[in-house]
Structure 1
């Protein structure tokens, strides 16, 4: 696997791949890779001839007081994992490479509606930062396919709308959530959890499972969500939201049915965790 931090070198290699007729898949990440990221690489390989991963800790999607400075940078280990998984190319630029005029002068991309509630309400500007950097990476790399994890469900909805609204010829693939042995969704931020917090963290997923079961049994959604929030508080979480939404629009719905999804965000100590559960197919 080659690693580039230079745009011209990256685009030269991609141009060669296109001349050779290769289908190209993009896997954007912020690094500190885990099995969930590597499954994105696996999915990309299933949909393309060549797999390009990116590692960029994007300052635009971190708000004031968030964890930009302490977000783990583990490039050497990430390179090893990507190589072992069969990734063809890694693009790992610095901030000055992607934003040479500085962040304040940068043209921003905003995706309305799907970015405005849920995590968007609790992290103002976050999804503008996501949409801006993803749009930039799409323009630089012109992939045929891009793979994103379903754990970040709202992010995936934002990116799908971005591609649809801008008529970008890119297939967006959502990859199912990778979970630890106790159900906790894999996340780079799980490493922030203290030992006792990690022991309780699986209650986030258990809350989703219990709430889904109550909905399937016909319990009113408002009552189910109230019980779920109380369940999280009893487990030591500080919940931000537990919501039943339409999977495409992310508008709140009252019925647990195909096309609906339960979404949750909560803090455990200083760590913010998110998860979701879709209506079983």
Structure 2
């Protein structure tokens, strides 16, 4: 079922609520793939009714070219869901349904979660994410919302958003879905050639090596090794590599006992920007 109007969506969901059904939301920007499918299936394991929003949010792109090139095909997305999860509600609003008046971001205090990595290299990105999700949560009023750990920094930001806004929705993180080469599933992967898809496994290889090295090598040694790996592949441009404390996402140079750490990478393969992360010591 494809619904464009928030009024129609709310009427449909109200019927489900009166029947005592638990409603889940999987927010997406479309170009659906197996990674989204894993999120949707995970949502169905927790909910009776699942809404998949398909909305390319203009306020979370700090690069106009990236927004323009982002893949869009609602018909293809609807067919994808009809094939795999035909009972899913697809919510495909126009910009005016989400933003009344001027299309701009609200400002949120997400603390240290947005000071580094994506927050550092994509100015205003997380305010855009927070703005659209706040509105989607208001429209859908889901009991639970599901986000992939590929965007782990975003996952923590969304949890903070709910704390700030006081919205009554449980945020659930889902394991990263990967292809046969270990590459994290992403809509951006559609822009890669077959040879680039194979080459992109370097990101997963680097993170896997970091995980193996973490207990025995210093963070500086690990950083140097990752830089050398990417220098050996000139088609890649490493934007950042960071090892951070998982509870605050602040980069660290020293390992502390009983502290959980996670490694994050962002790199360009040609014109396509790819990100990934991995837990290191659990």
- TM (norm. structure 2) is 0.93
Deviates more, 1:126-135 or 1:161-170: 161-170
SS in 1 for 2:208: helix
Which of 213, 230, 233 aligns to 1:232? It is 230
What does 1:70-89 correspond to in 2, within 5 Å? 70-86=69-85, 87-89=87-89
Task: Pick closer, same or farther for the CA change 1:110–1:94 going to 2, 3 Å.
Answer: farther
Deviations 1:38-96 (CA, angstroms, capped at 9, x unpaired): 11110110111111110000000111344111211111121122223324311100112
Q: Following the alignment from structure 2 to structure 1, what is the Cα–Cα distance between the partners of residues 48 and 198?
A: 41
Task: Pick closer, same or farther for the CA change 1:108–1:8 going to 2, 3 Å.
Answer: farther
Residue pair 2:260, 2:281 contacting (<8 A) in 1 also = no
Q: Following the alignment from structure 1 to structure 2, what is the Cα–Cα distance between the partners of residues 215 and 41?
A: 33
Deviations 1:230-279 (CA, angstroms, capped at 9, x unpaired): 21121222111111112221012332866211111111111100011113
Q: Gaps spanning 5+ residues in structure 1: where?
A: none
Residue pair 2:3, 2:9 contacting (<8 A) in 1 also = yes
> Is 1:135–2:134 an aligned residue pair?
yes
**Deviation (angstroms), 1:25:** 0.4
Deviations 1:181-214 (CA, angstroms, capped at 9, x unpaired): 1111111111222344323110011011111111
SS in 2 for 1:67: helix
Deviations 1:8-52 (CA, angstroms, capped at 9, x unpaired): 111111111111111100000000000000111101101111111
**Deviation (angstroms), 1:228:** 0.6
Q: Gaps spanning 5+ residues in structure 2: where?
A: none
SS in 2 for 1:54: strand
What does 1:72-151 correspond to in 2, within 5 Å? 72-86=71-85, 87-104=87-104, 107-109=106-108, 111-151=110-150
> Is 1:273–2:269 an aligned residue pair?
no
Deviations 1:167-190 (CA, angstroms, capped at 9, x unpaired): 332111111111111111111111
- TM (norm. structure 1) is 0.93
Residue pair 1:258, 1:279 contacting (<8 A) in 2 also = no
Residue pair 1:200, 1:235 contacting (<8 A) in 2 also = no
Partner of 1:23: 22
Residue pair 2:23, 2:48 contacting (<8 A) in 1 also = yes
SS in 2 for 1:204: helix
Deviates more, 1:82-91 or 1:19-28: 82-91
Partner of 1:223: 221
Task: Pick closer, same or farther for the CA change 1:207–1:128 going to 2, 3 Å.
Answer: same
Calculate the aligned-residue CA RMSD, in Å.
1.7
Residue pair 2:230, 2:237 contacting (<8 A) in 1 also = yes
Deviates more, 1:122-131 or 1:244-253: 244-253
Q: Following the alignment from structure 1 to structure 2, what is the Cα–Cα distance between the partners of residues 121 and 255?
A: 23
